[in-house]
Amino acid sequence: MDEKMSWTVADAVDYKGFPADRSKTGGWVPAALILGIEIVERLSTMGIAVNLVTYLGGTMHLPSSTSANVVTDFLGTSFLLCLLGGFLADSFLGRFKTIVIFAFIQTLGTGTLAFSTKLPSLRPPACHSNKNCQEANGFQMGILYLALYLIALGTGGLKSSVSGFGTDQFDEKDEVEKTQMAYFFNRFFFFISLGTLTAVTVLVYIQDEIGRSLAYGICTISMLIAIMLILSGTRRYRYKKSAGSPIVSILQVLVVAVNKRRMNLPCDYGMLHENSSDNSRIRHTDQFRCLDKAAIVAEGDIVKTNSGSVPNPWKLCTVTRVEEVKMMTRLLPVWATTILFWTAYAQMITFSVQQASTMERSIGGFKIPAGSLTVFFVLAILLTCAVYDCFVIPLWKKWKGTPGFTDLQRMALGLILSTLGMAAAAVVEMKRLSVAKSVGGTTTEKSLPISVFMLIPQFFLVGAGEAFIYTGQLDFFITRSPKSMKTMSTGLFLTTLSLGFFMSSFLVSVVKKVTGSHGGEGWLADDIDHGRLDCFYGLLAILGVINFVVYLGVAAWNKKDDNAIDNVEMV
């Protein structure tokens, strides 16, 4: 009997619902199939996003600020919908079904985008000068928006479940498979980078030199192939039963705490309701005491059933459940102060690409696509990670005795580098504008006589900052959240990306309205040669400095709070 149990995975089942056989399910083969769909998702989403602004401006004839907002709203929605995808996976569908369903939705979106860029009736007529260009009408933009937001919906569902379903194929209780899981995370990040690298080089080149409809058609066919591959592994996967959405648990604590807000807390916190097992129990802390009222036992909170007395979760919560919500609440100040990084990041795939499109991009007889400049993002990330792993971690361990920077330190480095990136972008834009003024601006036939490689510093600084802040945020949100809310904390992390893109759209709209009043075009003119994009970059740099000062205070509070909690645990 014991030998038979050793060949099964305790918390996983096979496709028939029976306990998963370790020898027939899970491992690297099904995990590789899952990684394949992640490559294609990155290829589609990033291949569209990094070069979309040039299509909106050059083909659909939208103003530069409007084009930038369309891109940032698209990406912001993609990451925000990860919460919806995670909720559906945890509560109803499970991760496998969520991946397959949303992959089909993304395929439908890329297919629609391929048709919208192919059919002449779905785009305005070409213009032969920079003036009097007809802007895309409502119907044409409606089809484009339909395609983009189908892709955004598909991306949100996929991103919420792919990494989790991949780790489901390994058993944490088995030492060999636990080691394999660590390699899976490394390879997962590698494949994300590989998909992005292919998107910003090969796919962007096809879009600019051959045709966008062909490039988006490749994305559609690639996703269909990836879906067939992931379906082919149905018998080999391990499926883990969902414990329910943590969002519901959080709402229960908040609702009960509000309903019992007039009740007095007992002098002895031992009188608060607790029935969690010793292994999963979390000790009471004094912070956010208003939430403790959710654990006060009142008349009518306990419901009698045939199997015994059971507390109504919408009337009474355990101390452990309350403490889990407290742990998530402690993450919010850091969450709020890291949003601005992604606002700076958004400029690299919008206005920086527009800058590149006006500059000299030829090397011999080859002309670099403007969107491909984002390749320096990927190179900066890979280079920063390599230097950090090979040099910083060993040196830091010898000097400080710890394996590299803490999560808070890495996020601080990311904020510093993004602020420096915005300052560098402002300086380069000042130079570009002076050249544009001296030669009379960009024309459709001729670029400005200034090398596009002057944009490399801003791409490298923000890219290196992403390497630090992405890993720092992921580490912070996963390690400091309760075990039952790991998926929720990952979703919380992804909302910083979403809100960063939305904040970019908001700032662009405000700056456009404020500086473009009194009959002028303002900082964000329809043609960037006639605007002051350098001032906008400078504004972001100033906001970055202010945000960093606030972050330092939040980080100090968070570190002090960690020490206080550690002391409670030692008692």
Q: What is the pTM of this model?
A: 0.81
Strands 308-311 and 302-305, how do they pair? antiparallel
Domain range 1-242, CATH class: mainly alpha
How many angstroms separate the Cα of 118 from the Cα of each of 210, 211, 212, 215?
12, 8, 8, 11
Is the pLDDT score of 420 beyond 50?
Answer: yes
> What DSSP letter does each residue of 16-78 carry, written as one string?
TSSEEETTTS-SHHHHHHHHHHHHHHHHHHHHHHHHHHHHHHHTS---HHHHHHHHHHHHHHH
> Average pLDDT, stretch 151-165?
86
**Of 78, 200, 215, residue with least CA distance to 502:** 78
Contact of 5 with 21, CB cutoff 8 Å: no
Q: pLDDT, tens digit, for every residue of 244-266?
A: 678 888 899 999 999 998 998 88
Q: What confidence category does residue 111 fall into, taking pLDDT thresholds of 50, 70 and 90?
A: very high
Burial class (CB in 10 A: 0-12, 13-18, 19+), 539: middle
Cα angle for residues 196, 197, 202 (degrees, 5° grid): 110
Same fold, 1-242 and 329-571: yes
> What tokens appear for 280 in the block?
């999963």
Better-scored residue on pLDDT, 103 or 181: 103
Q: At what angle do helices 95-118 and 212-232 cross, to 10 degrees?
A: 160
Q: Which residues pair with 448 in a beta bridge?
A: 359
Q: Which helix H or strand E contains 105, and what residues bound it? A: helix 95-118
Residues 6+ apart with CB under 8 A from 544: 340, 344, 415, 418, 419, 422
Domain range annotation of the chain: 1-242, 246-328, 329-571
Q: What are the phi and psi torsion angles at 310 (to 5°)?
A: -130, 130
Is the pLDDT score of 507 beyond 60?
Answer: yes
Q: What confidence category does residue 5 fall into, taking pLDDT thresholds of 50, 70 and 90?
A: very low
- CATH H superfamily, domain 329-571: MFS general substrate transporter like domains (1.20.1250.20)
> What tokens appear for 315 in the block?
């009337």
Q: pLDDT, tens digit, for every residue of 204-242?
A: 889 888 889 999 999 999 999 999 999 998 888 888 877
Name the DSSP letter for residue 239: B
* Separation of alpha carbons 215 and 47, rounded Å: 9
Predicted local distance difference test score (pLDDT) of residue 4: 44
**Of 336, 568, 347, residue with least CA distance to 473:** 336
Instruction: For CA atoms 49, 453, 465, 386, give the dihedral sign.
Output: positive
Q: What is the mean pLDDT of the chain?
A: 84
* Separation of alpha carbons 360 and 77, rounded Å: 33
* Separation of alpha carbons 196 and 375, rounded Å: 8
Q: pLDDT, tens digit, for every residue of 453-481?
A: 999 999 999 999 988 898 888 788 877 87
* Separation of alpha carbons 459 and 370, rounded Å: 13
